[in-house]
Chain A
Amino acid sequence: MSPSAVVPGELGSGAAPSRWSFRDKILLSTGPFTHEMFEPSEEAVAALGEMQILVIGAGGLGCEILKNLALSGFKKIHVIDMDTIDVSNLNRQFLFRHSDVGKSKAEVAAKFVEKRVKGVSITPHNCRIQDKDEDFYLQFNSIICGLDSIEARRWINATLVNMVDEEQLQEGISDSLKPLIDGGTEGFKGQSRVILPTMTSCIECQLDMHAPRAAVPLCTLATIPRQPEHCIEWAHIIAWDQEKPFPDVDNKLDNDDPEHITWLYQKALARAQEFNISGVTYSMTQGVVKNIIPAIASTNAIIAASCCNEAFKLATTSNPSLGDGENNYMMYSGNEGIYTYTFKHEQKEDCPVCGQKAKDLTVDPEWTLQEFIESLAGRADAQLKKPSVRTAEGKSLYMQSPESLELKTRPNLEKKLRDLVENGHELAVTDPAFATVSFRFAIHYR
């Protein structure tokens, strides 16, 4: 089979080449690996510009991602980041200049790329991802994350999994399914992954891929320090609370305040001298206290481009992508030569986020909570004998234990369901009989 081209746009054919001619060579012809569903067409090219895409994080990865999306032909981009620009960002976050220090990352990055690449619209959101609701996230076709926080990753992951409309999906309408593309780096290493919420392994399934930070016993810090890091941790965790050196700010440690870091550094240094330990430096103090992860432009470029390449393939189906094929995860290591490992991370059946899909429950709104709880025990698909029930908003309706919570929530048992749960809302139910899973029920009133 040879590539069939809709528009035969040979190089040097005489016609003035368009701005997107390179990209369109790919989009207007099939290749040997494209799926049979792929139909090269001008409409498909135009559709790319109509897709809405959200970038979470305007840092090292985010700057690269915005550039890459704009040069892939995405035209409706949003970016969300609550951070302001710091001087230590400038060695890699290339949309920022020294004069931008202190300004909003999202705003400066959006403005820069809009100015450089004509025709692209980038809407900045200078806030936390948790400040936005489902309606906000529903407007996007896909979300790309360039984050350094596990907490934020878990939040967006759970939100997207929860947004999936199972019924629609079964009918073949995938509008509620927002592919999540996630990148991360550390030094010369990084990873990119594609998640189709509820369909493939999610961030929560993959939580064990993030090694928890190695910790030293508190008593080692307190009595038998041996390493310079032990002295720094001692100053950070123990001496700071003991000596409360900055009463004017309520003794709240500000990692970015040089005075605070200097105080910790001097404390650590004195302690190190006391124990004949060498190696405490200001830079190490900063690194330990802020848990600084080394970051360079090159690695960000690799991972961000990998994420955007997957987004482009997903959006255009111009070639198979991570997520729809065999694999969904690429690890990259550049410490020793170059090594990539691309594999399939399996979905976990007992994943607390995507393992249990919310089951629909049609119930009588006039039931008391007690009656509802008793009905759960009788359900063949649940058989919950001692369920504890909380609402999706985090309100405890009834907790079987511990005693103090049982007492506090017991009065709810007499209340009518309609006074406790809104129609269509979800309940989270746990039961000691099911050691590893929690249940979610969407309540529908008769």
Chain B
Amino acid sequence: MTEVVADQTPPILKGPSDKEKKYDRQLRLWGGQGQQALENAHILLVNSGSGVVGIETLKNLVLPGIGKFTILDTGIVSETDLGVNFFLDEDCLGQPRAEACTALLRELNPDVEGEGHLLEKDGLSGYLQDHHLYTLILFSYPIDPTSVSHIEEYGRKHRIPLVSMHSAGFYSYFRIVLPGSFPIVDTHPDSTATTDLRLLNPWPELSQFAAGLTKDIDSLDAHAHGHIPYIAILLHYLKIWKDENGSFPSTYKEKTLFREKVSSAMRKDTPEGGEENFEEATAAVLKTVSVPALPGSVKEVFDYEPAEIDADSNFWIIAKAVKAFYAQHNQLPLPGSVPDMKAQSTTYVQLQNIYKAKARQDVAEVIEMVRTHPHGKGIDAGEVETFCKNAAFIKLIRGPDASPRSLGEIARKEFQSDEEAAAWGGPVSLFPIYLALRATSHESSTRVADILSEVDASIPDVASNEHLKKVVEEVARAQGGELHNISSLTGGMTSQEVIKIITKQYIPIDNTCVFDGITSRAQIFRT
């Protein structure tokens, strides 16, 4: 038997690794797990048109360290490329653009693999063979319709996200097509999001602990009184309120009255003329004295019937268990975190432990339910724990199949709200930009009349809109040419979304983002 030798070096002497140093500023956002997901990713860029937007997107993915990228491009480097694409120089003139860009992009990060291939006409299908190579495909417009169908077919078959981009003149958009429903657990909610403290339905350990701290509250010395954590203060006065009124304060008016009661219990004969913990308690009343309602986004997850192919995924198995937990307890598993509050260190740590213990108990219950699922045996307990911790903030982005609206419907709705916005000077819809660029998806034939007739052909009745006409003129003005700034900005937005999708953190858009470089605004549509 091998003898285990305990490591004598204390771990505290270990500084960050070279990789942690290099990626420090991003690890603070998506952590080691997110980074690992990026490093496992292989991104394909099918570049078309002048393709700056695609290269700029890749730049922002190579820098944070995706595993690998591949560029396919029919283009040969021309003079025009040198005026818009930073990842080419004069030595590249006449070379296949995919290879030249790949070489200069790879310089950005030695940890990233990359390859670029000159795409022969109709050669795309050869690269999109049966095997599953890519994590996500990016492609840029204008591009021929056959290539789009190859890409879409590959995306459907291998169930991977597709992201298309189009940048011309001062306008751009990008659009994400997810392979199906896309659930996110680690949404990074705002730290000010409501904390679930269970003040109206405390479990016995919490009640007992709070009661111990508030026993003889009025005769406590100044120091003890000024250090009761506000959770205990609120639980104490809630109990009194209930004893007097028969129920907890529930209406806004009752809560305001209750708040006054808490506030008036603050001692004013202190050097500061008040008590911080009571001030915290007063400020927390409206936010914490309520049974948290099931957030709409979580209800959506509970109500959703995942496609057969997804139903046995870890997410949906855990979601089902949490749903059962909710049905049984009428509340989500306790997240278990306690906001910082005025208290003695030991008291605060004890309080934290009480919440943590309860959270662990809830997790254990969910795990038990997960294990009853035929595929639930192998699910890591840590994954269940993370799910439970974030249960109130999980988010589901629906796949392309969910209640699609036609472009005509969206356009009519947007034009109608434009009329209303005109009355108060609100910003005008950016949807016409999408329609106009979309009409030039396959060739940059950019005469105003051509674009308008293309719009008219696919969406009857909208081409007469005055604003749309102007937008079409602006699109025609660019004649398909990319402005570096707009493509770089769009590449920045696209790469943010790609990172969110690959790391499964934060919340990606659903599903089309239009940018107007004239008014400096973005707008999201589901198309």
Q: Which residues of A approach B to under 8 Å, CB–CB?
A: 1-3, 9-11, 16-23, 25-26, 29-33, 64, 67-68, 70-72, 87-88, 90-92, 94, 97-98, 115-118, 187-188, 192, 220, 224-227, 258, 262, 265-266, 269, 275-277, 282-283, 286-287, 292-306, 308-310, 312-313, 319-320, 322, 327, 330, 332, 334-340, 342
Contact = CB atoms under 8 A, between A and B. Distances in A.
Contact of A305 (B473, B489, B506): B489
A306 B27 contact: no
7 A-B pairs with the lowest CB-CB distances in the bound complex, closest first: A22-B481, A301-B492, A302-B492, A305-B489, A71-B484, A32-B470, A19-B83
Interface residues of B, number: 95
Given A301-B56, A305-B489, A296 B29 contact: yes
B240 interface: no
B520 A306 contact: yes
Interface in B491-527: 491-493, 495-497, 499-500, 506-510, 513, 517-524
Contact of B82 (A19, A286, A305, A338): A19
Given A9-B479, A292-B24, A309-B486, 4 more contacts: A91-B65, A226-B349, A297-B495, A306-B489
12 contacts: A22-B50, A32-B474, A92-B26, A117-B86, A282-B15, A283-B24, A296-B60, A300-B492, A302-B496, A319-B170, A335-B188, A338-B524
Contacts of A313: 518
* Chain A CB within 10 A, most for which of B187, B480, B489, B500: B489
Contacts of A306: 485, 489, 520
Contacts of A335: 188, 190, 506-507
Contacts, number: 272
B476 A340 contact: no
B16 interface: yes
A334 B29 CA distance: 12
B227 to A, nearest CB: 7
Contact of A71 (B60, B64, B84): B84
A72 B50 contact: no
A336 B489 CA distance: 18
Contacts of B14: 282
A70 B513 CA distance: 27
B492 A299 contact: yes
B143 interface: no
Contacts of A266: 12
Interface stretch (B119-127, B230-238, B337-345, B454-462): B337-345
B298 interface: no
B483 interface: yes
A2 B451 CA distance: 13
A92 B25 contact: yes
Given A275-B345, A287-B28, A340-B521, A87 B21 contact: yes
A87 to B, nearest CB: 5
B18 interface: yes
Nearest to A307: B485
A19 B80 CA distance: 4
B29 A2 contact: no
A327 B425 CA distance: 12
Contact of A22 (B60, B108, B469, B482): B482
Given A11-B444, A88-B22, A68 B509 contact: no
Interface string B338-376: 001111111011000000000000000000000000000
B169 to A, nearest CB: 6
A17 B80 contact: yes
B84 A334 contact: no
A421 to B, nearest CB: 44
Interface in B1-32: 12-16, 18, 20-29
B29 A188 contact: yes
B60 A226 contact: no
A277 B349 contact: yes
Nearest to A24: B481
Given A21-B481, A92-B25, A294-B25, A225 B83 contact: no
B89 interface: yes
A131 B405 CA distance: 59
Contact of A118 (B90, B486, B488, B523): B90
Contacts of A115: 89
A283 B20 contact: yes
B118 interface: no
Contacts of A287: 28
A31 B477 contact: yes
A7 to B, nearest CB: 12
A29 B477 contact: yes
Interface of B: 12-16, 18, 20-29, 50, 56, 59-60, 63-65, 78-80, 82-84, 86, 89-90, 107-110, 169-170, 187-188, 190, 227, 340-346, 348-349, 427, 444, 446, 448, 469-471, 473-474, 476-486, 488-489, 491-493, 495-497, 499-500, 506-510, 513, 517-524
B381 to A, nearest CB: 19
B489 A227 contact: no
A97 B107 contact: yes
B28 to A, nearest CB: 4
Nearest to A9: B479
A322 B517 CA distance: 10
Contacts of B521: 330, 340, 342
Contact of A226 (B26, B343, B480): B343
A319 B56 contact: no
A17 B82 CA distance: 11
A302 B473 CA distance: 26
Contact of B507 (A19, A67, A97, A336): A336
* Chain B CB within 10 A, most for which of A67, A287, A340: A340
B520 A296 contact: no
B84 A22 contact: yes
* Chain A CB within 10 A, most for which of B108, B227, B519, B521: B519
A189 B496 CA distance: 10
A11 B349 contact: no
B485 A309 contact: yes
A14 to B, nearest CB: 14
B86 A116 contact: yes
Contacts of B446: 11
A430 to B, nearest CB: 32
Contacts of A225: 345
A304 B480 contact: no
B492 A227 contact: no
Contacts of A18: 79-80, 83
A56 to B, nearest CB: 18
Given A292-B25, A297-B59, A327-B520, A188 B476 contact: no
A19 B79 contact: yes
A2 B520 contact: no
Contacts of B510: 337
B108 A94 contact: yes
Given A310-B520, A327-B520, A334-B493, A301 B83 contact: no
A67 B85 CA distance: 10
B60 A26 contact: no
A309 B517 contact: yes
B227 A340 contact: no
A320 B15 contact: no
A94 B80 contact: no
A312 B485 contact: yes
Nearest to B489: A305
A121 to B, nearest CB: 17
A226 B352 CA distance: 10
Contacts of B448: 2-3
A297 B64 contact: yes
A325 to B, nearest CB: 8
Contacts of B64: 91-92, 296-297
B26 A296 contact: yes
Contacts of B517: 309, 319
B12 A265 contact: yes
Contact of A25 (B25, B227, B341, B481): B481
Contact of A26 (B90, B341, B483, B509): B483
B151 to A, nearest CB: 23
